[in-house]
Amino acid sequence: MRVTRERSTAEGSGTQPPGEATYLVLGPLEVWRAGRLCTPTALKQRALLVLLLLHANRPFPMYTLIDELWGGSPPRSAVSALQMYVSGLRRTLEPGHSREGHDARTHPLLRTSGSGYLLQVRPGELDLDRFRGSAAWGHELMAARDCTAAADAFRRALSLWRGTPLGDLGQSCLPDHYAVRLEEERLALVHDRIAADICRGRAREVVGELAELCARHPLREGFHEQLMVALAETGRRAEALDTYARARRTVVENTGIEPGPGLRGTQQALLSGDRPGNAGHERCRPAGAIQA
């Protein structure tokens, strides 16, 4: 199978014209406008911008925004406070629009939409979109068994991460589940990138990384399974079986249930003297976009 679509199209990674915005959420929040850093400083305003970015180009109901920003216990002044934060963001994102006296509801980037707000983000402006575009391109390449190109695409996607997502906002400003979902997307793509590396014959190079990932995420069976495959590929079957025993013990002690079929199937293949199946090569389903 041959992938014919151009990479730049598949990744959705077009460059922005001069003066356009760049939004970075895969780490501390940053906003760039015309080459100038203009990230809001007030925590609630930053949290509002993050919520609008994670739901970009979709209307976000005002009262849902209020619930998210104040954890379901908003003050009586929440509506007026939200309107003040929105006005501040509009001035930050497009200063000239306010100076020229235009109606705020027709703001070119942050519009009033029904009973809520909509932030317009163009292709390539949000690092999360570029991450997902590169990941999708890598999955197409992996399906076509072009493991080297897939690994490169996955690495490009992962290189966009600059640290803990949204970690500079604090738990009091934004529900935890947003950062958790983003981190899940990252770990799923780390798994896919390692699968591509094993597929292209680099099992030996990923053993150390996998051992660290297994220690850091002991209940993620996919990493244990990949470590078993990588060890087996390098002739270390006994160590691969020891890995299964440790993983099983950890899973049972923490969850009370046996490991899933992937981990057990890899162990059975090793015990039978067969080459483990697709454990290292199988791509995980990419995590879905955050929904409102």
Q: What is the pLDDT along the chain (292 residues), one digit of tens a residue?
A: 445 443 443 444 444 443 478 999 999 999 998 888 999 988 999 999 999 999 999 999 999 999 999 987 889 999 999 999 999 999 888 766 555 555 656 678 899 988 899 999 999 999 999 999 999 999 999 999 999 999 999 999 999 999 988 888 866 678 888 999 999 999 999 999 999 999 999 999 999 999 999 999 999 999 999 999 999 999 999 999 999 999 999 999 999 999 999 999 999 999 998 887 554 444 333 333 333 3
SS3 106: helix
- With beta carbons less than 8 A apart as the criterion, state whether 128 and 25 touch: yes
In angstroms, the CA 143 to CA 146 distance is 8
The CATH-assigned architecture of domain 7-119 is Orthogonal Bundle (1.10)
Q: Where are the domains of the chain?
A: 7-119, 133-271
Cα 265 versus chain centre, distance: 29
Closest of 159, 143, 183 to residue 281, by C-alpha: 143
Listed in sequence order, the residues at least 6 apart from 84 whose beta carbon sits closer than 8 Å to its beta carbon are: none
Domain 133-271 has CATH 3.40.50.720: no
